[in-house]
Structures are given as C-alpha cells and as structure tokens.
Amino acid sequence: MSRYEAVIGLEVHVQLATASKLFCACSTAFGCPPNTNVCEVCLGMPGALPTINRQAVRYAALVGLATNCAVNSYSVFARKNYFYPDLPAGYQISQFELPICEHGFLPIQTEDGEKHIGITRIHMENDAGKNMHSQAENVSFVDLNRAGTPLVEIVSEPDMRSPAEAAAYLKALYGLVTYLGVCDGNMEEGSFRCDANVSLRVAGSAELGTRTELKNLNSFRNVQRAIEYEIERQGDILAEGGLVRQETRLYDAAKNVTLAMRGKEDAQDYRYFPDPDLLPVCIDENDLTAWRNGLPELPRERLARFQAMTKLPETDIEVLVHNIGIADYFEAVAAATSARQAAGYLIGPVLRECRARDIPVDPRCWKMKPESLAELVDMVDKGEISAKMAHDVFGELFESGVSPAAFVREKGLGQISDADALEEVTASVVDAHPKEAAAYREGKTKLMSFFVGQVMRATKGKANPAMVNDLLEKKLR
C-alpha cells in the first residue's frame, strides 16, 4: 500500500440561501408540498425567459473572495445538456469556460502544519428537481420545487493526500459559507454536498492515476470513510496488477462500501454552449470592493480570538468555531461569565447531553439559553454549588431550560459553605471514626480522602470541598 499515494480532489455543491430561485421569483423554501414552488421558467417551458438573481451573484462572489479567488468581472452562463426526468428543460444552466471565480486556495491544518489546497474554479448553476421512487406503488414521482435553486460548485485542485486532509478542507469550506451567511449549512437537506475524486499513483510520481468519482457523501464522516474505502479498493486492484476504471461510484454508508454506478462522462458529452437567453454577468469593481470590505469575521479569525479569550488548545476551540450557531452561543455565555469555563461546558457537558438526549447540535433547538449557562458557571465560581453537583444535574438543566439558581434553591442542592455548619459535621465524622483518626495522626495521611468522603456522604455531596479539607486538617492535627 505504501508504494502508492492517494490524490484527492473535491467538488462541493453549496446551495445559496437566497429567498428566491436563480432565474425566477419562485421560493426556495424547503419541505413545501411537491410542485408548489414552480413557474414556467423553472418548469422549463419553451419560450420562458430566465432573469438572474442579483443576490445569488453577490453570494457566489463572496465565496470567491473568502477563498482567495479572482472574482471575474465578466462571466458567462452555459447550457449543460443532458436528459433526466428531474431536469425539465433538458439542460442545466451552469458556467463552463468563464466561471465567476477562479484560482483560489483554502488553508487547512494538517499534521505537518498549514497547507494550501488550490481552488480551481467556482461556478454558479441551478439545481435540478427531485425524483422520488415509490417501491410500494411501483411508480416514480418528480418534485420540481428544488429545480432552479441557486448553487455554487467549488472545484478543488487534486491537492489533498489523505482522507483527513479532505475532511479538513471540507470543514474549512463549510465554516466559510456558513459564516458568510450564504448557505444554511443543512447537510441533511442537501444544502452542502460533496463529490470526492480519488486516485492512486506511485508515491513521488508526477502523473495522476485514473480516478473514480464518489457521490452521495452527505456528512463529513461519510466523506472520510468513503475515501478510506476507495483508497483501499484501488490499492488492492493495483497491487494485483489491475487497472482502475474511470467511473462514478455511489457510497453506501450503511455497508461502508462504494459501488459502481456508471461510467464517467467527459465534458464533451454535455455539449456545453453559452446560454443565448442570458446576458453575461458583469461585476462592477466598486461593488466588488464594497463586498470585500464587508466580509464578516471568518472562522480562522474567530478561532484566534476565542483562543486568546480562553487559552484553550486549538482542537477544543475548533469544536466551538466549526458551527456558527455554537460559536455565537459561546460568545453570548462568555460575555456574561468566564470564557474558559463557558467553553469547557459547551465542549463537554452540552455536546454530551445533545448526544445522550438526541437533541440537535444547534442552539436554536436548546431550551437552555446562554444566560442560564452563564448563571450556572457563576454559581460554581462563587461556590454556591459544587462543580460536581453542577455536572450531576446538568442534563436535567439542559433539557428543561429552567433557571439553575431556581432549580438549586428548589431542590436544596446549594453548596454548604457555612463554616459553623461544616465544623459541626466534620467534628462528628472525626469523632465517629476514632480508629481512622488515630491512624491518620500516626502518618496514614491517605485517610484524608476517607474523611472527605464521609463528610460528603453526610452532606449529600453539598459540602464545599476546599473548606472540608481545611477543617479536617485542623481537626486531625
């Protein structure tokens, strides 16, 4: 296997979060009854004329600016001809020779430090509809609500060398488009999807090997697993002296295999030509400058800022930054209390409870608001509740969204920091265990944890541990 090196290039389709479609005024809302968001343009009726969505052009240019591309002042739509039932016009309107953005790169973190992944081009195109096959009725349906939805396709250079690099690139890109606000980032609904091109070559060789294209990769994990599988599959073929066939393969996540779907088309099969119904897209230099100046804070800058705020390692901060919803939530908590503690709660208990309770990793679905989390962090900080108690009841607080202060008051979970009360408990614990006390005084200092445990048991875990330690040490002197 080590004789070969993997070569990976990704094509990522990003659905732009415009209210209306790319060439008509129909809504892009997801989940509407089939064929309700359609008109003569997106139904491909003869003679209906497309008009370009200005917002989609701006969004596509923003993606180019954020990926260090040249944004072309002049680009052209082209028809990509093919027949499929979900494509009523018989062609997709895309860009071919003159795309809106070209020649960019995206930095990623690898084991060997930072690496730039080249971006060949970014072009605009409209999405197709959806075919739905009913096995029960033995019929197929076509829903054209999605037909005409604006996409950008971001094509990378074959610069990635491992599944981990591919995943890092994809995550970086996902961060950019969601931070730019040009994509809702909903991978289950297909707003961000990826095809992976994979080939092997003898390590060190300059030529590219024959590639396969993997489709249907709808999560970061699947992208990584599918590429891993494909590298192994091709490695086996080459090891036996065979040849890899250039083809499109479908990833089956349940079985973790890729399966041959069809031979791969070449560009000439699509008979591209400039769309005569659409004018070239011209971007004004002033507009472009304004868009560049208006770019929001992007994930890398935010990562650096969060690191300065929390002094936590980059791998932890990445978890906060990756999802803009979580990043904003963290920011809201950190504004009200210790940033470092807030980060710790988000990375640890919050994500754990999401998994355990099947709550989406999306703060919009959380009942616990940032103020409540900040309140809890503060209560631990001030010693009003022990850190352990906070962890023990966190799941309940997170799921219910009740105020931590009210919850603690109601359930009587407050930490006992009253010196007189603790003095009394520690004294009675020591008195109740004369043998252990004697042993401790003779040097068996390990018994301290035994005494602390007894005090905790007596107080149902509510005693302030630092005070208990001090009091016991005095008492056992």
The residues of the shown chain that bind ligand ADP, judged by CB under 6 A, are 7-11, 155-158, 197-199, 208-209, 211, 213
Does residue 89 touch Zn ion according to CB under 5 A?
no
- Shortest distance, position 261 Cβ to ligand ADP, whole Å: 13
Q: How far is the CB of 52 from Zn ion (least distance, A)?
A: 13
Rounded Cα–Cα distance for residues 384 and 227 (Å): 51
Return the one option of Mg ion, ligand ADP, Zn ion, none that residue 370 interacts with (CB less than 5 to 8 A, by type): none
- Minimum distance, C-beta of residue 142 to ligand ADP, in the bound complex (Å): 24
Min CB(182)–Zn ion separation in Å: 21
Q: Cβ 168 to ligand ADP, closest distance in Å?
A: 16
Angle between helices 299-310 and 163-180 (to 10 degrees): 90
Q: How many residues bind Zn ion (CB under 5 A)?
A: 5
From CA 24, how far away is CA 93, in angstroms rounded?
13
Output 10 or 422, the one with its CB closest to ligand ADP: 10
Nearer to Zn ion by Cβ, of 49 and 432: the residue is: 49
Q: Tell me whether residue 95 or residue 197 sits nearer to ligand ADP (CB atom).
A: 197
Which is nearest to 147 in space by CA: 76, 88, 60? Answer: 88
* 11 or 470: CB nearest Mg ion: 11
Least Å distance, CB 40 to Zn ion, is 7
* Separation in Å, CA 303 to CA 68, 298, 321, 331: 19, 9, 6, 12
**Dist CA 211 CA 198 (whole Å):** 5
H/E stretch holding 151: strand 150-156
Q: CA-to-CA distance for 309 and 339, rounded, in angstroms? A: 6
Q: Which does 404 bind (CB under 5 to 8 A by kind): ligand ADP, Zn ion, Mg ion, none?
A: none
Q: What are the residue ranges of helices labelled H in 25-182? A: 54-66, 163-180
Q: Which of ligand ADP, Zn ion, Mg ion, none interacts with 208 (beta carbon under 5 to 8 A by kind)?
A: ligand ADP
Q: Which is nearer to Zn ion, 49 or 421 (CB)?
A: 49
Distance CA 246, CA 93 (A): 26
CB-neighbour burial class of residue 166 (10 A; exposed 0-12, middle 13-18, buried 19+): buried
Residue 9 contacts which entry, Zn ion, Mg ion, ligand ADP, none (Cβ below 5-8 A, type-dependent): ligand ADP
What is the number of other CB atoms lying within 10 angstroms of the CB of residue 367? 12
- Residue 9 C-beta: closest distance to Mg ion, Å: 9
Q: Residue 151 is encoded by which pair of tokens?
A: 């996409």
Binder of residue 326, out of Zn ion, Mg ion, ligand ADP, none (CB less than 5 to 8 A by kind): none
Provide the minimum distance between the beta carbon of 288 and ligand ADP in the complex, in angstroms, as a whole number.
Answer: 25
CB nearer to ligand ADP: give 110 or 210: 210
* Token pair recorded at residue 168: 């890092």
> In the complex with ligand ADP, which residue's Cβ is closer, 7 or 65?
7
d(CA 85, CA 232): 35
Nearer Cβ to ligand ADP, position 49 or 208?
208
Q: Quick one: 11 or 378, whose CB is closer to Mg ion?
A: 11
Nearer to ligand ADP, 76 or 122 (CB): 122
Binding residue (CB under 5 A) for Zn ion from 8, 12, 16, 26: 26
User: Is 52 among the residues that bind Zn ion (CB under 5 A)?
Assistant: no
Q: What backbone torsions phi and psi does residue 434 show, to the nearest 5 degrees?
A: -60, -35
Task: Decide: is 48 part of the binding site for Zn ion (CB under 5 A).
Answer: no
The binder of 24, among Mg ion, ligand ADP, Zn ion, none, by C-beta within 5 to 8 A per type, is Zn ion
Write the Ramachandran bin of 101: left for phi over 0, alpha for psi from -120 to 50, otherwise beta: beta
Residue nearest to Mg ion (CB): 11
Q: Pick from 10, 17, 22, 24: which binds Zn ion (CB under 5 A)?
A: 24
What are the start-end ranges of the H helices in 346-447? 351-357, 370-381, 387-400, 404-411, 419-432, 434-441
**Residues between 28 and 47 with contacts to Zn ion, criterion CB under 5 A:** 39, 41-42
What is the C-alpha separation between 47 and 277, in angstroms, rounded? Answer: 10
Q: Shortest approach of ligand ADP to residue 245 CB, angstroms?
A: 13
Give the up-direction half-sphere exposure of residue 135: CA atoms within 13 A in the CB hemisphere.
0
Residue 26 partner contact from ligand ADP, Zn ion, Mg ion, none using kind-dependent CB cut-offs of 5 to 8 Å: Zn ion
Q: With contact defined as beta carbons under 8 Å apart, do 288 and 277 qualify?
A: no
Q: What mask, x for binding Mg ion by CB under 5 A, covers residues 6 to 35? A: -----x------------------------
Kindly state the DSSP code that residue 162 receives in the 8-state scheme: S
Quick check: 379 binds Zn ion (CB under 5 A)? no
Q: Of the two residues 13 and 475, which places its CB atom closer to Mg ion in the complex?
A: 13
Any idea of the CA torsion for 293, 296, 302, 305, to the nearest 10 degrees? 60
Separation of alpha carbons 300 and 104, rounded Å: 17
- Which structure tokens are listed for 221? 């994990």
Q: Are 127 and 157 in contact (CB under 8 A)?
A: no
Q: Which does 42 bind (CB under 5 to 8 A by kind): Zn ion, ligand ADP, Mg ion, none?
A: Zn ion
Tell me which residues touch Mg ion (CB under 5 A).
Answer: 11
Tell me which residues touch Zn ion (CB under 5 A).
Answer: 24, 26, 39, 41-42
